[in-house]
Amino acid sequence: MRVSGLLVLCVAALVACDEKEGGSVNVNERDSGDWPDARIGGGGGTREGGVIPDAQLPDGGSAGPAVELKNLSPLTDPLAGPPIVGSSLEVICEAKQRAGGTPVDLSSVMVQLFDTKNEKLDEAPLTSQGVDTFKGSVSLSQVPTGPVTVRCVATDTTTPTPLSNFNQIGTFYDGGPKIVFDNLNDMSIVPRGDDKKNETEFTIKFTVEPSPLITGDSAAAVQDVKLLLRDELVTPTRDGNVYSYPVDFKTLVGNTPISELKVNVSATNARSPVAATSTHNVVVKVDSKPPTIVVSTPSDGDIVGGRVTAQLTIT
C-alpha cells in the first residue's frame, strides 16, 4: 500500500519516483538550497509542519527532526494582535530527535522568511542554546509591510539520505509609514550657490503616507516625522502628506566646504504596544564650486576695435 500510494502521488505531481522513499529529501541533491514552497502560507495564520518530501507529500510526516517555533504565534487578523515590527526578528526554535530517528544536524537549523508569492525573502542560521533549543535573528530589511511566513527548518543525520522537517507560522509585518523623496536620490547633485548672497539653493521634498496592513487599520496612521540633515534635527513644513524644507547652506554649515549632504527621514505610526518606524536615507552630492573662466585673449588692458575674437577656457 505504501508503494502504491507513492506512485499515485508521483503521477499527480508529474515527478519521477525512481527508488526514493516518499518521506525523505536528500539535502545533498537540492539544486538551489531552498525547500519546496507548495505549502507556504503568506499570513494565513496557520501553524504547519512536516517532512518535506520529493513527491510533495502532505504535511505531518513522522520522519526527520521534530521542529517547533517556540516564541511566535500565528496571526490571522493584525487588528487582533500585534504584528512583527522592528529591523530584525528574534526566533527561538525547538528541533529534536524523534523516537527511532537520528540526531539533529546542529548546523542545519535555520529561520526563513517568505512573502505571499512564496518567494524567500531572507534566511539566517540558528545557534544551539543547549538541549534541542536554537536561537537567532533574521533581518527584516527585505520584508515588505503585510503578510509574511516565518519558517524554522532542521535536518537530521540519517545516512545516506538525511531527513528534513519544518514548522512555520503565518503572521504580519509592519514596516512603518511609506516614505518617498520627491526630488532626491543617491545620484542627485545639488548646487550650493553663492554663500555671500546667503542663497537658498534647493528645497527637500518628501511624502509620508500610512501603510495599513488591512482596511480599517487606524494604527497605521502617521504619528511622528523627523528630518535630519548631517545628523542635525530640522523642522520641515507640512502640507497634508507632503513635507518640505528649504536648505540654506550658510546657516547649515557656515563657510565650511562640503562635498555631500546626508539626508535622513524617519516616520513612526500609531501602532501599540510597539510602534513601527521606517527610515529613508540618501546622500546627495553638493556642487559648491562654480565653473572657472579664464580669458586668454584679449589680455587685460588691450585696446580693441572692430571685430575681435575672444579666446577663453571654462573649467
- Specify the higher pLDDT residue, 235 or 8: 235
- Write down the pLDDT at residue 113: 97
Mean pLDDT of 196-201: 53
Backbone φ and ψ for 123, nearest 5 degrees, come out as: -155, 160
Q: In angstroms, how far is CA 287 from the centroid of its own chain?
A: 32
Q: How many CB atoms lie within 10 A of CB 248?
A: 14
Q: Which residue has the higher pLDDT, 247 or 102?
A: 102
Stretch 67-78: mean pLDDT, rounded? 94
Give pTM, 2 decimals. 0.71
pLDDT surpassing 70 at residue 7: no
- According to the model, what pLDDT value does residue 314 have? 78
Tell me phi and psi for residue 74, to 5 degrees: -60, 150
pLDDT in tens, 25-47: 334 333 333 443 333 333 444 55
According to DSSP, the residues that pair with 171 across neighbouring strands are: 148
252, 176, 260: which is closest to 219 by C-alpha? 176
CA dihedral 61→62→63→64, nearest 10 degrees, is 90
Task: For residue range 241-297, list pLDDT tens digits in order.
Answer: 999 998 877 767 666 667 788 999 999 999 999 999 999 998 887 766 666 787 777
- Asked if pLDDT for residue 306 goes beyond 70, the answer is yes
Among 62-66, 122-126, 245-249, 285-289, where is mean pLDDT lowest? 285-289
Cα 194 to chain centroid distance, Å, stands at: 40
Average pLDDT taken over every residue of the chain: 78
Q: What are phi and psi of 265, to 5 degrees?
A: -120, 130
Give 60's Cβ-side CA count (13 Å radius): 2
287, β-bridge pairs: 191
CB neighbours of 307 closer than 8 A, spacing ≥ 6?
Answer: none
Partners of residue 166 on adjacent β-strands: 50, 153
- The reported pLDDT for the residue numbered 200 is 52
From residue 250, give the alpha-carbon distance in Å to each of 193, 253, 254.
10, 6, 4
Query: What gap in Å lies between CA 26 and CA 168, rounded to an integer?
Result: 21
The span from the CA of 275 to the CA of 219, in Å, is: 9
Give φ, ψ of 245 to 5 degrees. Answer: -150, 120
User: Is residue 4 helix, strand or coil?
Assistant: helix
pLDDT at 165 over 90: yes
Q: With 70 as the cut, is the pLDDT of residue 95 above it?
A: yes
Q: What is the pLDDT of residue 141?
A: 92
- Asked if residue 269 lies in contact with residue 174, where contact means CB atoms within 8 angstroms, the answer is yes
Which has the minimum average pLDDT: 6-15, 88-97, 133-142? Answer: 6-15
pLDDT for res 274:
94
CA 8, distance to chain mean position in Å, is 41
